[in-house]
Amino acid sequence: MTSVLGPRVSPGVGLHSRSLVTSKWRYFDPVLAVLAVGISAFGSLMIWTATRDNLLAEGSSPTFYVKKQIIFTVLGVVIMMAVATVDYRRYVNFAPVLYGGSILALLAVYVVGHKSRGAQAWFQFGSYQLEPSEICKVTLIVGMAAFLAAFGGKLPLRGFLAVLVLFLVPFALIYKQPDLGTALVLMIVLLAMLAVGGVRPLHLGVLTLLGILGIAAVLHFGILQKYQTARLTSFLNTPDQVSPGFLASSSTNAQAEYNGALSKMAISSGGVHGKGIGKGPLTNTGEVPEQQTDFIFSAVGEQVGLLGSALLLALFVLMVWRIWRASVLARDQVGMYICVGVLGIIAFQVFENTGMAMGIMPIAGIPLPFMSYGGTSLIAMYALMGLVLSVRMHRFN
């Protein structure tokens, strides 16, 4: 019977769905989300201080880069929350579609992609760029997690070989662009996920050995372009101090060594407390090349010094720990694999980028997560955080 107040509803109807939504958000990790947004905010500040003087000298708006970075940060946060809201198992169900779509995008780059400085790695939309290789980091993790979970934690030889094929297709397409930095990141994803995916130690050892031999062969037999080899090997001879006349050197590594040396000089000149926000004579005047992207950490070192740099690295360590915690709390293998893949990307990119800026790692063009300028890279990082948050939030479903 219907009353004037509307149809009668049983006491429990509607409450169950609301309780599910409430319980889901009970397991949301605010620390991980705040870390991502906080580091992004600090990264935007560093990008602004590192680019404003050069932009003013060119007659452009001093906020050109930072405005775009803030836009992508806001978009990234929205994507992170949207990805987190959906049960991660739904993404796994669509893993073949996501993986196939990313492969098609990588192939399309060779047809209609924008070519610059010898690389054809992105689509150009006005002043904005879309890099399929960054999105591939996300889809490869989901695809490999689905594949490894299907074997129940014990990966036989045929499964191991199938995973290699799954990895080699995007790896080859990205390496050919050429985008050696992202290709190296995908290698870390492969090794990290195989390490917990039930692969036999012998198979993993052989794969690691083949990877090392492959890198050595690539460098020795001149498979890479000269500038790529110079970037990868320049850290072995990077001087502590350079003058403008250094570029007159006949060494093929001169430009890469010069760039690395300037980054080291900027970091060391910051001392313990730094020279102050916006007061770095090397990083705020554009002396250090690729300041807002590859060498953003040198801006941190010069402006906020050892203490500020250590605090930033501590935040990254905390982020890695929260991701590891999510992998431990995961109730199934696919959730654990996703978290381990994301952990591998974050840890490796932080280690490589900061080491590159300090002159102890090769210059591989790998961005510092949530810090370096770049829209697609930033959005991909937030999507990865969304996956980790989803694993935590939906683990009891």
Q: Where are the domains of the chain?
A: 29-225+323-393
pLDDT tens digits, 25-42 = 888 999 999 999 999 999
Determine the length of the chain.
Answer: 397
Q: What is the mean pLDDT of the chain?
A: 85
* pTM of the predicted model as reported, rounded to 2 decimal places: 0.90
Range with lowest mean pLDDT among 1-5, 97-101, 205-209: 1-5
Range with lowest mean pLDDT among 41-55, 122-136, 164-178, 313-327: 122-136
pLDDT at 251: 56
Q: pLDDT tier at 7 (50, 70, 90 boundaries)?
A: very low
**Which distant-in-sequence residues (6+ apart) come within 8 Å of 124 by Cβ?**
114
pLDDT tens digits, 181-206 = 899 999 999 999 998 988 888 888 88
CA distance 195 to 191: 6
pLDDT at 223: 64
pLDDT at 234: 62
Statement: residue 241 has pLDDT above 70: no
% the chain with pLDDT above 90:
52
CA distance 240 to 351: 20
Over range 213-222, report the average pLDDT: 70
Over range 65-93, report the average pLDDT: 96
